[in-house]
Structure 1
Amino acid sequence: MATTTSSDYYDVLGVERTASQEDIQRAYRKLARKYHPDVNSDPDAEDTFKRVNEANEVLSDPEARERYDKFSPQFGDDWRKVPSDYDPSAGARAHGFSGDGASFEDLLGGLFGGGSGFFSRGPMPGSDIEAEIELPIEDAYSGGRRSLTMQSAEGLRTIDVNIPAGVLDGQRIRLAGQGGEGYGEGAPRGDLYLRVRLAPHRRYRVDGRDLTVELPVTPWDATLGAKATVETLAGNVDVKVPAGSSSGRRLRLRGRGLPNSRGAAGDLYAEVKIVVPQRLTGRQRALWEELAGLESADAEGEAA
């Protein structure tokens, strides 16, 4: 269980150090929902929520996670400040410190500009961060600007995101300079990568840039052929349902799927679904019974 007092990011998320990225994201989403201040009135919930986000920012970034695994056992919360080429197994002596009296503070001083200055470094860029953003299909189709509020180690931040028209499920959007905070004066921030997840839709199924929508058709229209109206993301379109259409037949509307700024747009497929009337008038029932009788008579005649 997450706790605000834990100093280990794996403990915060409640996962093993060998956890996969899928395990980390699953644990993060569960804890973020549980401790979000909007749904949890516990006084400690906000602090826990911040810690959970901080842990996710590091462990979901492969480069930051590697540095954390390498340096946090020795340097604790100061792991970010350690240069990438520092070897934790070499000990203080290998970095310019002699004798047995070298303290942790002495070592840090030598690393970051104090003491011998042997490992003095300039500003260090912040880590890149990856997060998910869920979009309705309508927003993915049209694109546009959207404000996103994120929780980071520095608190809540509101970021304006430019959603490209036709963005796909799983696609990443890069926001330069919106990632982790740099270390040292003038250090640049890292980048933020938003991985798009398209929310399930009540009408449309998504396959890459192609969309599929059900087209309800009455039995007589499916049998005789008819015109029908299909609702697309760009408005209604009339289509011709060919005579003799069965359920599952797909009518292709070229270019009516998700747009593509670098090539052809996807297609929309109207999938015929024969809908039987729930209630029949006496006249309608009589006609259906007559039709059923004709079908039986025809079948018997062919058999003879």
Structure 2
Amino acid sequence: MLNDPYKALGLSKTATADEIKKAYRKLVRTSHPDLHPDDPQAEARFKAISAAYDVLKDPETRARYDAGEIDGLGAEQPRRQYYRDFAGDAENRYQQRRGAGPEADPADIFAEILRNRARGGQGFGGGFGEQGFSAAGQDARYALEVPFLDAVRGAETPITLPDGNALSVKIPAGTEDGQTLRLRGKGMPGFGGGPAGDALITIRVQPHAVFRREGDDILLTLPITLDEAILGGKVTAPTIAGPVGLTIPPGASSGRILRLRGRGVARAGGKAGDQKVELKIVVPTEPDASLRDFLSEWRKTHSSDPRADLMKGAGS
């Protein structure tokens, strides 16, 4: 099958959900175009592995791919359908009208139509295609990849359908990865005057090079200098709405989390989440002589061991 998602992630068809997730995360780090701006092939690789993960991460979608119902991009595979397929569909694509109850056998109904047409009768609604039957169009499924910030802030983006027509898709603020949007009446056309189906757009959110999402909270790792950690200070931190000022308290350690309230994902009619900022101390790769000399002297008179409690907890 074309666009094999297992092959794109370097996995076999027996891969577990955890193996799929681990493979995807590993490949994102090596293929994200923001992390590899000098690699002209990074964007193509990133799109391929994102498409593969979108199909395999959801058990239902994965099962449909394995059964040949959708292709490696999540699009419906064409299949032949007959009258019985429409009549028995659980989504009620083919609806009986005027005298045909829900328990009626489709073959008997069809035979009755032919008998009425042969004798010119109108007892069963006048025949096929007039008032006897109408069939709602099938729903059409599509996958749409959107940037991280468009998903959390909301946006409007066009999507081109296989027939060449274009739709404008409104991405609501707070849209999550894997969420499906429904566009009423934008699916396949109906039969016998029946309504058109819907377009179901499954959203795939691209990973961001800086931000991560946890529910409605935004997570960020913020590098700080050694002097900022010891002395504290004011720095600028990015948020999904733009840069803001942040105060680093004196004596901050790596791993400490500061909270920017209301700076997370804001859904319509709901309370906005927060942005959690994890501090990460970054020391110079080559400290200057004065800093090295100071720390050498400081070490002689300070013997605190930050690992003491850790060793006790480990039973050492």
TM-score (norm 2): 0.61
Query: What code does the residue aligned with 2:203 have?
Result: V
**How high is the sequence identity, in percent, across the aligned residues?**
33
State the aligned residue count: 235
Check if 1:24 corresponds to 2:64: yes
Deviation of 1:206 (Å): 0.5
- The corresponding residue for 2:204 is 197
Are positions 1:110 and 2:114 aligned together? yes
Query: Residues 211 and 74 of structure 1: is their aligned pair in 2 closer, same or farther, counting only changes over 3 Å?
Result: closer
Distance 1:272 1:26, change over 3 A: farther
Corresponding position of 1:146: 157
Aligned equivalent of 2:147, options 136, 142, 158: 136
Q: Equivalent residue of 1:202, what SS?
A: coil
Does residue 183 in structure 1 map to residue 191 in structure 2? yes
Q: Structure 1 stretches of 5 or more lacking a match? A: 3-18, 34-51, 59-64, 98-106, 300-304
**Larger mean Cα displacement after TM superposition, 266-275 or 127-136:** 127-136
Q: Give the match for residue 260 of structure 2.
A: 253
Q: 1:165 aligned to 2:205?
A: no
1:49 maps to what in 2?
A: none
Corresponding residue number in structure 1 for 2:236: 229
Q: CA deviation at 1:192?
A: 1.5
Alignment of 1:34-45 (within 5 A): none
Report the CA distance shift for 1:96/1:254 in structure 2 as closer, same or farther (over 3 A): closer
Q: Is the 8 A contact 1:124 1:183 kept in 2?
A: yes
Which whole-Å CA distance do the structure 1 matches of 2:301 and 2:85 have between them?
Answer: 82
Letter in 1 for 2:285: Q
Residue 224 of structure 1: how far off its partner (Å): 2.2
CA distance in 1 between partners of 2:207 and 2:272 (Å): 21
In the TM superposition, what are the counterparts of 1:53-72 in structure 2 within 5 Å? 53-55=75-77, 71-72=84-85
Task: Report deviation, 1:220.
Answer: 2.6
Structure 2 residue matching 1:215: 3-state secondary structure:
strand
Pick the aligned partner of 2:298 from 276, 282, 291: 291
SS in 2 for 1:293: helix
2:311 corresponds in structure 1 to none
Q: Distance in 1 between matches of 2:167 and 2:269?
A: 26
Structure 1 residue 180 displacement after superposition:
1.9
TM-score (norm 1): 0.63
CA distance 1:271–1:115, shift in 2 (3 Å): farther
Q: Distance in 2 between matches of 1:74 and 1:126?
A: 13
Q: Name the counterpart of 1:208.
A: 215
Shift of 1:140: 1.7
- Structure 2 vs 1, CA of residues 74 and 163 (structure 1 numbering), >3 Å: closer, same or farther? closer
* Larger Rg, first or second structure (1 or 2): 1
Pair 1:83–1:30, CA change in 2 (3 A):
closer
Tell me: CA distance 1:137–1:71, structure 2 relative to 1, closer, same or farther (3 Å). same
Distance 2:68 2:247 in 1: 49
**How big is each residue's C-alpha offset from its partner over 1:186-210, in whole Å with a ceiling of 9 and x where there is no partner?**
3321112223232111111101211
Partner of 1:126, secondary structure, is: coil
Q: 2:251 aligns with which of 218, 240, 244?
A: 244
Q: 1:140-172: per-residue Cα shift (whole Å, max 9, x none)?
A: 233232101122xxx233111122223233333
Q: Please state whether the residue corresponding to 2:255 is helix, strand or coil.
A: coil
Contact between 1:168 and 1:209, CA under 8 Å: does it hold in 2?
no
- Residue 217 of structure 1 pairs with residue 224 of structure 2: yes
How far apart in 2 are the matches of 1:82 and 1:188? 11
Shift of the 86–250 alpha-carbon distance from structure 1 to 2, 3 Å rule, reads same
Is this contact kept in 1: 2:151–2:174, CA < 8 A?
yes
1:213–1:270 CA contact under 8 A, matched in 2: yes
Which deviations, in whole Å up to 9, do the C-alpha atoms of 1:96-119 show, x marking residues without a partner? 75xxxxxxxxx9x739x8557857
Match for 2:84: what amino acid? Answer: F
Cα shift at 1:81: 6.7
